[in-house]
Amino acid sequence: MRIIKQKTVQFLASTVALLFFISGGCADDRVINMEEFGTMDDGRPVQLFTLKNENRMEVSITNYGGIVTSIKVPDKNGNIDDVVLGFDNLEQYKAGHPYFGTITGRYANRIANGRFELNGEVYQLATNDGENHLHGGIEGFDKKLWDYEINNSENSVILRYLSPDGEEGYPGNLNVKVTYTLTEENELRIDYHATTDKPTVVNLTNHSYFNLSGEPTQVILDHLLTIHADRYTPVNEALIPTGELRHVEGTPFDFRTPEYIGTRIDSIPPGYDHNFVLNNPNQGVRNIATLKHEESGRVMEVYTDLPGVQLYTGNFLDGTIEDRNGHPIPQYAALCLETQLFPDSPNQPHFPPAVLNEGEAYETVTIYRFHTEQ
Ligand code: GLA
């Protein structure tokens, strides 16, 4: 009798321990950390979220600008480094920076003269890049405080922002939701969703600057890049597409097989800042680019369902901004692979359309997936 009782107690105890391990134990590692990151000028608190996975990958995101402040991944020897440009405090972001890790919108990239026509009406947007509109205008989504929600079971942070009708000149109230998820496959997955109550234009992206060496003072000219694009969109001096879809064959834009960033960059001063016309636009989410840094062994694969990607090699970085270790960030310190619709689409009828109507949903996904190779 007593023995049976003891066994029952033992059984119950181990069952409880097992249940604790399954539910609490595993979930514990996955609990998203939230800490205060500072305050907006009007006093609203800003948060910093840190997501972790079982492979020691860590991603930090703030609801100020939806900024990815940090992505930590191991190299081939297991050393963990931060592979994006960013800051450890809100003040540096508020002081101004070239879109480090931000969500850019309502329209990422440029709209010529900040003007476009939609259903017979001409809309004049804020101009903040000479005569042109760039990355949503003077106070784009990159400077907004987003509402947040944490989903521990999905390892996701959900950010929401309601962009009012007329903001920066855009028509329609736009309801935007961006979901950042860190998976056990070492993917930072970004799901974008938007709806409007009036026809408008939308193009959202994430503007992370990657340096897979983990050392921003070491330039990215030694990174090997592949982009699955047979064509790119040539631009004028103001970086507005001419409208041509030019074949990459024989140009510095041919990344169909892996090429070092540095091999041909001098032939297109000040560097790459171009949209690539991605192959297989109707295939849904597909691998569109791969970036590799041989010394650290880090590899980043990019997946998206979008038709374009902007390769920007940090041409305008000039040492005036300091990285999180206090070192000046030089030109070519990092590169962006901004998945997107083509720049200036609202004025280029033969580009994939950027119009969103009421009753429709803008829905796209981009995944940055990390691994190492020896
Ligand atoms: C984008 C643009 C660049 C530059 C950077 C931010 O990638 O295409 O021309 O404006 O943002 O500095």
* pLDDT at residue 29 in the model: 55
Angle at 64 between CA 288 and CA 304, to 5 degrees: 10
Whether 312 is in the pocket of ligand 1, judged by its Cβ within 6 Å, is yes
| Residue 169 dihedral angles phi and psi, to the nearest 5° | 100, -5
140 within 8 A of 105, measured Cβ to Cβ? yes
Residue 241's pLDDT band, with cuts at 50, 70 and 90, is: very high
Whether 11 is in the pocket of ligand 1, judged by its Cβ within 6 Å, is no
By DSSP bridging, strand 33-39 and strand 200-201 are: unpaired
Q: Ligand 1, closest atom to CA 129?
A: 10
Annotation marks residue 35 as catalytic: no
Whether 368 is in the pocket of ligand 1, judged by its Cβ within 6 Å, is no
User: Which tokens belong to 74?
Assistant: 């191991």
How remote is the CA of residue 229 from the centroid of ligand 1, in Å?
20
CA distance 197 to 299: 41
Annotation marks residue 363 as catalytic: no
Summarised one tens digit per residue, pLDDT across range 21-55 is 444 444 445 799 999 999 999 999 999 999 999 99
Whether 168 is in the pocket of ligand 1, judged by its Cβ within 6 Å, is no
CA distance 209 to 242: 26
Determine the distance from the C-alpha atom of residue 95 to the mean position of all C-alpha atoms in its chain, rounded to a whole number. Answer: 21
Whether 99 is in the pocket of ligand 1, judged by its Cβ within 6 Å, is yes
How remote is the CA of residue 314 from the centroid of ligand 1, in Å?
8
CA distance 75 to 293: 10
Q: Ligand 1, closest atom to CA 109?
A: 8
Q: Which residue is catalytic, options 167, 168, 301, 338? A: 338
267 within 8 A of 252, measured Cβ to Cβ? yes
| Number of helical (H) and strand (E) elements in the chain, helices listed first | 3, 27
Whether 329 is in the pocket of ligand 1, judged by its Cβ within 6 Å, is no
CA torsion sign for 105, 202, 240, 224 is positive
Q: Out of 275, 316, 320, 321, give the residue to mutate to test ligand 1, the one with the largest number of ligand atoms within 8 Å of its CB.
A: 316
Summarised one tens digit per residue, pLDDT across range 272-295 is 999 999 999 999 999 999 999 999
**Position 159: which residue type?**
L
Partners of residue 20 on adjacent β-strands: none
What Å distances lie between residue 163 and 128, 199, 316, CA to CA?
18, 14, 29
| Residue 164 dihedral angles phi and psi, to the nearest 5° | -70, 155
User: Lowest-confidence range among 17-26, 142-151, 232-241, 334-343?
Assistant: 17-26
| Residue 10 dihedral angles phi and psi, to the nearest 5° | -60, -45
What Å distances lie between residue 61 and 16, 155, 161, 214, 339, CA to CA?
35, 12, 15, 18, 19
Q: Which residue is catalytic, options 135, 207, 223, 274? A: 207
| Domains annotated on the chain, with CATH | 32-372 (2.70.98.10)
Total-model pTM: 0.92
